[in-house]
Amino acid sequence: MTNKTRSVAIVGAGPVGALMAVYFANRGWNVHLYETRPDMRLPENKAKIQNRSINLALSVRGLTALKGTGLALDELIMKSGLPMRGRMLHIGREGQLVSQDYGVHGECINSVDRAKLNEDLITAAEALSNVHVSFNLALKRANLDKGTLELENKITKEVVRAEADLIVGCDGAYSAVRNSLMRYVRMDFEQEYIPHGYCELSIPPKIGADGKPEFAMDSQHLHIWPRHKFMMIALPNPDKSFTVTLFMPFANFEAIHNEQDLMAFFEEYFTDAVTLIGKDFLIKEYFKNPKGSLVMVKANPYHYKDRCIILGDAAHSMVPFYGQGMNCGFEDVRILDSLLSEFNVKSTKQGDSDKSLEQALQAYTDRRAKDLKAICELALYNYTEMRHGVTSPVYLMRKKIESWLHLLVPTRVIPLYTMVSFSNRPYSEAYGRHHRQGFWLGVAGAAVGLGTAAGLVLAGWKQRRQLRDVGELFKAAFLNAAHSVQKLVQ
């Protein structure tokens, strides 16, 4: 093994696996990337591969990891990305529109097509001379101590054997690498299905006066139809369509048996969406598209000696309601690469006494575990916020107060969404800080409440009509108390 170039076998050529291949190739390793599915880039395979088409929300963590390759992959992906500066709520049956910005400084998340992003990353990896990509190969078993893999060709059923110094599992929530890893370590493992599923729909472009396709809704927002116990979302696409996803309990899906049931349901809860989608197209897509389940996976540890590590959904599958699944997986890649540098892991093994790789993998498990637990919990919590909380007056007041405090004392009060989506701050640190900030939000809320009450008494009941909305009422009261609150926070 002395001075032999290290080799890595990455199982799973999804976005995380493909990006990991680029990072290892940049470090000088020999990289073998194995994918169960056929090559999705070939036209004859596109119809065969059933990709989940829920758009991905690319934000700072993901962009940082893409940029870290040094290949301008962030710029490549963003060429087809569409910025979304906030949520657009469709309230009530008729869909009254209410806009909520994501950040106080115009920050955006970006809608990107899952399939195109994956294809671009595979192409970028394959362009590197020390990367070899194989398709139609499913992992059957792995001997981690020996560094051997047995893979089955999905077409010929032939068994292919491979060897590698390091095996990396990027093969999703039902990871075969994780199953092998469980035989070697005392892994704490948790899998939970939530009672809600999803169905994918779409809003086609509308045809403008000039005959060209146009967006049927504002394209700079992530659209949400919050209905308390369920919701629907829509993200824009470059072809002017919207990818729509209906999330609700399986019991609700099971109650829709025919076209009449479907239309009665949509007319009651999503009246404006019927017009946007089109009745016939809605019926066709709803009954054609599968009803998917949503699973959460938590595992620890993520590695075995210097032989194996799992990343992405294989280690921490989360529900999609914070838009962090891919971003977190890309961050896994970036952090692992930074630890390989920190522990001075060379592209060649320096004799049998070289423990640097094992130390780096151990550090990854030690440092990453609390962050991955935090984001899985935040993702589930955000579902309640998106389908219910965003319509609550208390929630709206708290968000306004938090935004104003962030403008007044930006280093002391930072909105949770800002920390998660627009920074690389560790998830666990963001989660903890959010809870600690609750005290100051309580102080500010009390000041706003007292100021509002005093303002109403002084202004008189009739004068309240001069205020254009509840937000201005809260803002006026807040500004009266702002200086005293600012002193308290500082």
Tens of pLDDT, residues 235-292:
999 999 999 999 999 999 999 999 999 999 999 999 999 999 999 999 999 999 999 9
**What kind and span of H or E run contains 269?**
helix 259-269
- Provide mean pLDDT across the span 290-305: 96
CATH T-level fold of 7-82+111-191+296-385: FAD/NAD(P)-binding domain (3.50.50)
* pLDDT-wise least confident of 37-51, 95-109, 240-254, 362-376: 37-51
Residue among 167, 177, 172, 178 at smallest CA distance from 10: 167
Confidence category of residue 437, pLDDT binned at 50, 70, 90 = confident
DSSP character for 467?
Answer: S
Task: Count CA atoms within 13 Å of residue 109 on its CB side.
Answer: 31
Residue among 15, 48, 53 at smallest CA distance from 198: 53
Q: Are 332 and 315 in contact (CB under 8 A)?
A: yes
CA separation for the pair 35, 23 (Å, rounded) = 18
Residue among 216, 201, 178 at smallest CA distance from 315: 178
Which residue type does 486 have? Q
Residue among 122, 86, 69, 121 at smallest CA distance from 219: 86
Render pLDDT for 82-140 as a digit per residue (tens, 0 to 9): 999 999 999 987 889 999 999 988 999 999 999 999 999 999 999 999 999 999 999 99
Q: Are 274 and 114 in contact (CB under 8 A)?
A: no
Structure tokens belonging to residue 165 = 């110094």
CA separation for the pair 456, 180 (Å, rounded) = 66
Per-residue CA distances from 57 to 85, 114, 363, 410 (Å): 12, 9, 29, 25
Q: In this structure, what are the phi and psi dihedrals at residue 360, rounded to the nearest 5 degrees?
A: -65, -40
Q: Residue 459: is its pLDDT beyond 60?
A: no
**Domain boundaries, given as residue ranges, for the chain:** 7-82+111-191+296-385, 192-293, 392-489
What pTM does this model have?
0.89
Confidence category of residue 440, pLDDT binned at 50, 70, 90 = low
Per-residue CA distances from 152 to 14, 35, 47, 254, 481 (Å): 18, 11, 22, 37, 68
| pLDDT-above-70 percentage for the chain | 87
* pLDDT-wise least confident of 9-23, 223-237, 323-337, 434-448: 434-448
Structure tokens belonging to residue 198 = 């999803």
